[in-house]
Structure 1
Amino acid sequence: MPEPIIDPEVPERQRTLLLSDAGVLRPPGAPPGKPPFGGRTLRDAGLCLSYAPVWTLLPAVMGRFYGGAVMWAGLAAQAVLAGLAVGSIAWGPGLGGFLLLCGCAMPLAFGVLLWRCGEGPATRLARTLHGRYVRPQDLGEAAAGLLERAREAVGAVLGSEVNRSGLLDDVRNAVTLPAQLWEIALTLAQVEALRAEHEAVPHREDHRIADMLGAQAQALDLATEAVTRRVAALEDYAAQAAAADEALRQWETARRLSARSDAYRELLARTVRDELAVAQIAGLTEEARRVEEVLRASVRRARRAGLALAPGPAAAGLAEAS
C-alpha cells in the first residue's frame, strides 16, 4: 500500500512514528474525537485482570513474549521474587506471608497493565494530526495516479546523483519539493471531497441547480488540470535530473580516461621503440647469418687445407667423409 503524504512541517520523529504504523491513520472528514477512558474497553480491563497474577508471580515467563529489555526486566523481577520467597520461608513469616505480599502487588500490576492499554502513541498522534496527512487510498483512481506520479518525480530528483552532489541546489530541493508534493496531495484531497459532495446533490434536473452544478464541475476540472500541469512540471524536472545524471557519468568517465592518457602515450612510445627494436634485431639476425656463412666457409677451407696435409690413405678417407 502506498505511503501517506504527510505535511513536511510535521517533525521528523512524529513522521517516523506515523509511517511505522500507517494503519492507524484516519480517512478525511470530521476529526475524530478523543475516545472515552483513553480508548480502554471492558475487554482490556478483563485481560489485564487475568494477566495481573501471572505478571506478579511469573514475570520471567511473560517477559519472554516481549523480548528485549522487558524480558531482562522480567528475569530480574523473577530473581527478586525467588529471593523473597526463600527469605520468607527461612527467616520470615513463611510461604503464606509471601503469597500475601504478592496479593498486595497484584492491584499494582493490574494498574500498570491497564495504563498501557487503550490509545497507543501512534493512534493518538494520528488523531491529533488529522488533516495533516493524505492517504492515497482515500482518493479516486485518477487522483491517486496523479499523486503517485508526483511522488515518483520528487523521489527521482531527490535521489539523483546531481542533487546529492549539490549540483541542483540540494538545500532548496529538500525543502521545496516535499512542500510541492504536500500541496498537490492537499489539492487532490480537496477536489475529491468536493467532487463527492457535488455528485451527491439532489434535484439535479432543476435548471437552476444544473447551472450551479455545471459551474462547480468546471471549477473542479480546472483545479484538476492545474494539478496535472504541476505534476507534469515535476516529471520534466525529474527527466532533466536524469539527463544531468547521465551527463555527470559521461564526464566522470572522460575524466578517468583523461587521467590515463599518460599511460596510453607511454604505451604508444613503447610501441614505436618496439618497432625500432624489431628492425634492429632483424639486422642483427641478418648479420649473424652472414657471420655463420663466413664461418662455415672458413671451416670448409680449413678442412680442405687439413686434407692436403694428411697422408694418402687417410686423406682419401677424410675426403670421403667430407
Structure 2
Amino acid sequence: MVRQRELPILGRTPLSRPTPGAPSPPGGAPGIRAAAAPGPPGERSRNGGQALRVSRDGVEQRIAALEEYAAQVREADLRYQELQQIQRLAEGNDEALDLLARTAADALAVAEIEAMAKEAAIVAKTFSTALDRASAAAVIALPTRATA
C-alpha cells in the first residue's frame, strides 16, 4: 500500500484535494506556482527546485499508487479466470458423474448377468441330470425293440 505524505508546500497529499487555506495562484495548480513565486533570485531557484521535487514526488506517488492498483487488478483477473475454469470443470464434472453412474450401472448389470448365467448353468445341469435319469429309467422300464 502506498503511503501518502503531507507535502509542506502544497498543504496536501498528492492524491487529495488542496487543504482549505493553502495558497492557490490565479489560473494555476494550487501550491505549484506559489512555491516558485517571485522573490530574490537565489530564493526563486531554490523554491523552483523545491516545487519540481514536490511535483516529481507527487507524480512518483501517483505512479506507485497506479502500479499497486494495476497489480490488484491483475490479481483479481487471475482469480476470476480460476473461478471460470472451476465452473467449467464443474459443468464437465456433471457429465463425468453421469458417465460414472452409467458405468456403475453397467458393472451391476454384468454382475447380475453373470449370476443369471450361473443359475442357467445349474438349471441346465439339473435338466441334463433329469434327462439322464429318465433315459436310464426308460431303458429299464420299456422293452427294447428286439424283444418286442
TM-score range, shorter chain: 0.3 to 0.5
Q: Which structure has more RCO (C-alpha within 8 Å, separation ≥ 6)?
A: 1
TM-score by length of 1: 0.25
TM-score by length of 2: 0.47
Structure with greater Cα Rg:
2
Identify, as 1 or 2, the structure richer in helix.
Answer: 1
